[in-house]
Structure 1
Amino acid sequence: MKADISVFWHKAQEMLKGLMALLPNIILALIVFTIFVHIGSAIKRLVKHLTRHYRYARNLGMVLGRLAQGTTVLVGLFISLSIVIPSLKAGDLVQLLGISGVAIGFAFRDILQNFLAGILILLTEPFQINDQIVFKGFEGTVENIQTRATIIKTYDGRRIVIPNSELFTNAVTVNTAFENRRLEYDIGVGYGDDIEWTKQLMMEVLLSLDVVLKNPAPDVLVMELAESAVKIRIRWWIKPPRRSDALDARDKVISAIKQKLYVENGIDLPYPTTQILFHDQTEATDGDRSSQREGWPAEKAHISKSISIGHAQRKFIEVQHDHNKLVNRKNYL
């Protein structure tokens, strides 16, 4: 037992002596690595500073800065390892990096995929910071484009983090990609109103509002003969195309058109209506397409008068009451 303790104590002393011998190298390696980390940060800031005045090179500067910082830190790590372990050669480091890279690639495949997608997004610029985008069920303003994910702020004050691989491989709507944006809205008017006059009134409203651009010009189009109304679509352009401007323009346009059509000119803005036809299937003419009340018969002279809902309900109650009386009478007998 004493021999085992002495052997253990001897090995511990040798390890401590080896650590003390390597301590200056370890301290020097830490200093060198810290210097390279600071150099990488300085290079990143320098690249971003040089490209900050160029709108289309801003994202490119961000990518180059991050890559330069990562490369500088990696070189500092190699130099620090060679200081701590003098026998470690550059070829061994490259071989170790290759094996580690394969292992890391399998372990962090999704992270690397998002990283590459983030670099491609920064280089191709499908959208930029402060753009307003729509992605699947999310809509908001782009706050930051990182190499792993893109961060957007929704209009109700929430933060959404979207992986870059999702953004790069799926459709994204950029609402602020261009200077102008077109809005549209459907309005239903009565069948008895003059369509051309109604369209003229709508166009007057659009041309009188400051939020509506005159070039491109707005337009008014008849879109559909619906069940209860004639659907007329108004389309107009706004600038700038941001969400708040779109909501403000929509509010002013719809309010002004309602005032102009309904209040000032008495044009009908009907709500949906439903016509119900009742058919008594106990009639002798049931199944006769020329006489039945269901649908439209071939000969209008044979059409029976339609009945109201209340009358139909009362008739049903009377029939049900007579039926119950007949059943009770049979049971009594």
Structure 2
Amino acid sequence: MEPVQILTEQLQEIARGAVELLPQIVVAIVVIVSTALLSRLAKAMAGRVLKHTKIRQSLKELAQLLVSIFIWIMGLMIAAVIVFPGLTPASILAGLGIGSVAIGFAFKDVFENFLAGIIILFRREMRIGDHIECEDIEGKVAHIAIRESHIERTDGQLVIVPNSMLFKNPVVIRTDKPHRRVTIICGVAYDVDVDEARDVIRQAVVACDTVEQDNKPIQIFAQEFASSSINFEVTWWTGSTPVEVRTSKDQVVAGVKRALDDAGLEIPFPYRTLTFKEPLPVAPQSDQSEHKQDP
């Protein structure tokens, strides 16, 4: 038998089989279209049901996604059984179980970020709008997706971070509480009375409206004998966002400087004393002037 004839017969068999399967294929396409419509309807219904709950928006989106994925899996399984009647749900699940091992190795990072994203979405500590720091990345959480999170830095740049990074590494949530403690160091001269300086600094801090004083102590401690000053550690509480911290620092530093100046208390410059092993010869003033006049 000629190869051309063999090929022709095989193509005819394929065409005949396709024609025989045409009704099943049409029904499977209808099932897939119906699955798409049902998925959209289910997502909309889930959104309406969860709209009036106190669940975070990210968790609402996750619930809608899981509902959509479940409906699509069921719809595709039904379509496959219609096209290939020999298939059963058990055999499809068994095939998925075997194939999932290879897929898992091939897409390890994708699944890792996916699972980390689900866990992060269920965390109560990190919310959209929080200011966080992780692995030298600092900014506001703008969006939490299934595989990645969007961090807006304070300079306006957007950083897309894999969720596995936020899951595996320590995350500092700066806005977890409404207030944050801030500390600065203030030095006064050695001839200044320590108690008087402490009172002046405290009054200046209390006068700042950015300082939180309700059940939040203002602490001022003489910290150390520095090279040219006695240093005070000044601690207070203010808002937890970065701009609130910077604004409060600016106000407190300016207020303390103004109060110390008004009280006549010196904030010293660094002093340096130079000691030489041998006495330094000093030329008389007359010799220096004559030397300058020589041509």
TM class by shorter chain equals 0.7 to 0.9
CA contact (8 A) 1:48 1:58 kept: no
TM-score of the pair, normalised by structure 2? 0.86
Letter in 2 for 1:171: P
SS at match of 1:155: coil
RMSD after superposition: 2.4
Query: Which runs of 5 or more residues in structure 1 are unaligned?
Result: 281-304, 312-333
Structure 2 CA distance for aligned equivalents of residues 254 and 219 of structure 1: 15
Q: Structure 1 residues 12, 218: CA separation in 2 closer, same or farther (over 3 Å shift)?
A: same
Partner deviation per Cα, 1:143-195 (whole Å, 9 max, x = no partner): 11112121111111111122222211221111111122221211122212122
Q: Structure 1 residues 211, 98: CA separation in 2 closer, same or farther (over 3 Å shift)?
A: same
Q: Structure 1 residues 46, 176: CA separation in 2 closer, same or farther (over 3 Å shift)?
A: farther
Describe how 1:234-245 pairs up with structure 2 within 5 A.
234-239=234-239, 241-245=240-244
Q: Structure 1 residues 43, 222: CA separation in 2 closer, same or farther (over 3 Å shift)?
A: farther
SS at match of 1:51: helix
Describe how 1:3-42 pairs up with structure 2 within 5 A.
3-42=2-41
The CA deviation at 1:53 is 4.1
The CA deviation at 1:58 is 4.4
TM-score of the pair, normalised by structure 1? 0.77
Query: Which runs of 5 or more residues in structure 2 are unaligned?
Result: 284-295
Q: Structure 1 residues 197, 175: CA separation in 2 closer, same or farther (over 3 Å shift)?
A: same
Partner deviation per Cα, 1:95-146 (whole Å, 9 max, x = no partner): 1110111111111122212211111111132301111111121111111111
Structure 1 CA distance for aligned equivalents of residues 79 and 272 of structure 2: 82
CA contact (8 A) 2:58 2:145 kept: no
Q: Structure 1 residues 274, 35: CA separation in 2 closer, same or farther (over 3 Å shift)?
A: farther
- Bigger radius of gyration, 1 or 2? 1
Q: Structure 1 residues 190, 100: CA separation in 2 closer, same or farther (over 3 Å shift)?
A: same
CA contact (8 A) 1:51 1:57 kept: no
Higher relative contact order at CA 8 Å, sep ≥6: structure 1 or structure 2?
A: 2
Letter in 1 for 2:117: G
Q: Which residue of 2 aligns with 1:326?
A: none
Structure 1 CA distance for aligned equivalents of residues 269 and 29 of structure 2: 77
Structure 2 CA distance for aligned equivalents of residues 275 and 39 of structure 1: 84
Relative to structure 2, which stretch is displaced further, 87-96 or 22-31?
Answer: 22-31
Q: Which of structure 1's runs of 4+ aligned residues deviate more than 6 A?
A: none
Q: Which residue of 2 aligns with 1:232?
A: 232
What is the number of equivalent residue pairs in this alignment? 282
The CA deviation at 1:46 is 3.3
CA contact (8 A) 1:206 1:212 kept: yes
Q: Structure 1 residues 93, 229: CA separation in 2 closer, same or farther (over 3 Å shift)?
A: same
CA contact (8 A) 2:118 2:146 kept: yes
Letter in 2 for 1:128: R
Q: Structure 1 residues 224, 24: CA separation in 2 closer, same or farther (over 3 Å shift)?
A: farther
Structure 2 CA distance for aligned equivalents of residues 251 and 128 of structure 1: 28
